[in-house]
Structure 1
Amino acid sequence: MTDSEYLDQRLDDQLKWYSAKSANNRSWFNRLRMLDISAAALIPFLTGLGEKVPQGNWIIGALGMAIALSTGAQSLFKFHENWIRYRGTAEQLKQEKFRYLSGSGPYANMASDERFRTLVDRVEALLASETSTWATETKQAAPAGGAGPNGQP
């Protein structure tokens, strides 16, 4: 595999994946937080209106339930944590690519083939670390003594 093939097929592909996943997690986090904030702001407002709002108690209860569901989803799916982690990984991949292309940092004063091997080693170590972190977090989040959500241990 040449360096341009590696950059194209592996590094750029992973960079796009992490950037897209970061953006998706950021979007979900922001939506759910806005739901929390909006619902929490409406509850005292509706309570203050009292009997003037038909079915007000039901609406207030539904808003409270929406907050609980939103907060639970944020905790379960870790949108904030994933957004930050994926963005960090994407930025590290980007830095590695630009250091390699410019011949700076760890790539300074290296022969071309040595620079390429160093790039592959550093990028693959970064991706392996990310995969290891994901596996550890997934294992810790699994229900105790049983199968995960898809029936697998």
Structure 2
Amino acid sequence: MNISEQAYFQERLDNQINWYDKKSSHFQKVYRCLKGIVIFFSASIPLLVGFISDYGFWEIVIGAIGVSIAVIEGWLSLTKYHENWIEYRSICETLRHEKYMYLTRTGVYDIENPFKVLVDRVESIISNETVNWASLNYNQNGG
């Protein structure tokens, strides 16, 4: 199959850059939100402990907050929002770097036919990420 530079940029490279950018932003938002909740809950426990002697129901509230913290931290550990955010941001920026190096014909792209080098490098980046993702998920699921 022969594909033009413009088609490759639109259908593959820009598509992948946008996908990694959106996923990275999503993982960052979820991670920061959940971590913010954990910080708020953790900070509220010492404050609420002072009310236990006056009102017995605060024991239940503090216990529920402690359980919530454990559940959120467990969920963050399982879903790896932080790791995915960093990994996807890194891949997005690496793909952008390759794109702009190619467009300016600098570095490894300062040759006669740089398009083949671009495709090889971009596909290698995407392929390596896919292999890493599959390995992580296989190992995480008891494989």
Same fold (TM over 0.5): yes
AA partner of residue 120 (structure 2): D
Q: Percentage identity across aligned positions?
A: 37
Give the equivalent residue in structure 2 for 1:131. Answer: 130
Equivalence map 1:1-153=2 (5 Å): 1-53=3-55, 55-108=57-110, 110-111=111-112, 114-143=113-142
- SS where residue 103 of structure 1 aligns? coil
Residues 18-63 of structure 1, C-alpha deviation per residue, up to 9 Å, x if partnerless?
0011001111110111111111111111111223346101110110
- The number of equivalent residue pairs is 141
User: d(CA) in 2 for partners of 1:140 and 1:67?
Assistant: 26
Q: Per-residue deviation at 1:143?
A: 3.0
RMSD, aligned CA: 1.1
- Aligned residue for 1:143, secondary structure, equals coil
Looking at structure 2, the residues matched to 53 and 22 of structure 1 have their Cα atoms a distance apart, in angstroms, of 44
SS in 2 for 1:51: coil
Match for 1:131: what amino acid? Answer: T
Distance change >3 Å, CA 53–CA 91, structure 1 → 2: farther
The CA distance in 1 between the partners of 2:47 and 2:139, in whole Å, is: 40
Structure 1 segments (4+ residues) deviating >6 Å: none
Q: TM-score, normalised by structure 2?
A: 0.95
Unaligned stretches of 5+ residues in structure 1: 145-153
Cα distance in structure 2, aligned partners of 1:51 and 1:35? 26
Q: In structure 2, what is the Cα distance between the partners aligned to 1:5 and 1:85?
A: 26
Q: TM-score, normalised by structure 1?
A: 0.89
